[in-house]
Amino acid sequence: MSTLAVEGLRVRLPTPAGDVTVVDGVDYEVQPAEVFGIAGESGSGKTVSMLALLGLLPDGSSVEGSARFGEDDLISMPRRRLRSISGRDIAMVFQDPYTSLHPMLSVGKQLTEHVRLHLGLDRGRAEERAVELLTDVRIPDPHAALRRFPHQFSGGMRQRIAIAIALACRPRLLIADEPTTALDVTVQAGILRLLDRLRTEHELAVVLITHDLGVLSSIADRVSIFYAGRVVESGEREEVLRTPRHPYTRALLDALPHPEAPQEQDLVAIKGAPPTPGRIPAGCAFHPRCAYLLAECRTKVPPLVPAGDRLLACPPDPFSHL
């Protein structure tokens, strides 16, 4: 059974210029021990779609659809119950470990407060658990680390501590929003390896949000590519990234500095820029930037439908023969 099943998620956010649809009909499922990757450019709705599940959107936002987590629906459940689930059964790791940790509290305090609050452990047991967690995320000398403060750690170590806090209450679902974006590649590799080990050892379902297809490719099992609040292509990592069929997925991959490509070759940028929410083009949102459009692309919103080994929202399907 899947850990999380999202269906028909729609999010509208209030702006000075009126309500704006940011996520427009998104479905996905995540299984235990699986990493489900969501990729797309800034403003594609990937982060908002997660915040919506956790009730973290600003007042005045509207969320439709359902998000089944065990027996519950995260979207319709009372706020109080959602608050007790998030942080315990659902944990989050954000991009910036500088702001997600409290600068004035010791690492030990942040780890033990958390397990005492959610699991009701006494001080001694909570400290044992904290050491166990820091060991699990490979913080050297965990006993000493408990008495230190976030600024005494490097960015990579801080992200490890944030992951330890996320794991403290043995969550079933971990939402990681750009967890390695602020880190050096060498440190990023370490965090990706850590997440990969933890998901197997803890049977943890992971939703990984990233703009980096390299990160996605190294750890995700299944992926969805977001564009302007919709999923344009979804399937197994290997199929989607090796033989992309949506022109947008293909263009994103072509824009990357490919390690095997000849150095002299220019990178292929996608023409134009992603649309801002509220000014999404009619029809297929990608059509003004697409090299393969047909007349219908300008008027009809393409549905996400099964296409062989994947789901695809592109009726012309120009790469189906590959």
Complex with another protein: residue 238 or 296, whichever CB lies closer: 238
Tokens at 5, concatenated: 């099943």
Please say which residue, 77 or 189, places its beta carbon nearer to another protein: 189
CB of 210 to another protein, least distance (A): 10
Using the minimum distance from each CB to another protein, give the nearer residue, 267 or 291. Answer: 267
Reported as half-sphere exposure (CB side, CA atoms, 13 A), residue 232 has a value of: 30
Q: How far is the CB of 47 from another protein (least distance, A)?
A: 14
19: phi > 0 → left, psi -120 to 50 → alpha, else beta; which? Answer: beta
Asked if residues 48 and 61 have their Cβ atoms less than 8 Å apart, the reply is no
Least distance to another protein, CB of residue 237, Å: 6
Q: What is d(CA 68, CA 10) in angstroms, rounded to the nearest whole number? A: 15
Q: What is the dihedral of CA 205, 206, 207, 212, to 10 degrees?
A: -150
Residue closer to another protein (CB basis): 85 or 231: 231
Give the residue ranges of DSSP H helices in the chain. 46-53, 79-85, 97-100, 107-119, 123-136, 142-146, 155-167, 185-201, 213-219, 237-242, 247-254
Q: Which residues pair with 307 in a beta bridge?
A: 310
Is 256 or 300 the residue whose CB approaches another protein more closely? Answer: 256
> Nearer to another protein by C-beta: 105 or 268?
268
Residue 299: Cβ within 10 Å count: 10
Q: How far is the CB of 41 from another protein (least distance, A)?
A: 4
CB of 221 to another protein, least distance (A): 8
Question: What is the gyration radius of the CA atoms in the chain, in angstroms?
Answer: 21
- CA 252 to chain centroid: 17
Residues forming beta bridges with residue 205, ordered by sequence position: 173
By C-beta, is 241 or 280 nearer to another protein? 241
Provide the binding-site residues for another protein, judged by CB under 8 A: 41-42, 154-157, 184-190, 192-193, 196, 211-219, 221, 237-242, 251-253, 255-259, 263, 265-270, 273-274
Are β-strands 35-39 and 18-30 bridged in parallel, bridged antiparallel, or unpaired? unpaired
Which residue's CB is nearer to another protein, number 72 or number 236? Answer: 236
Residue 1: CB minimum distance to another protein, A: 24
Token code pair at residue 304: 């996400």
Quote the least distance from Cβ 49 to another protein, whole Å. 18
Secondary structure class of 155 (helix, strand, coil): helix
- Cβ neighbours of 4 (radius 10 Å): 21
Smallest separation (angstroms) from another protein to the CB of 262 = 9
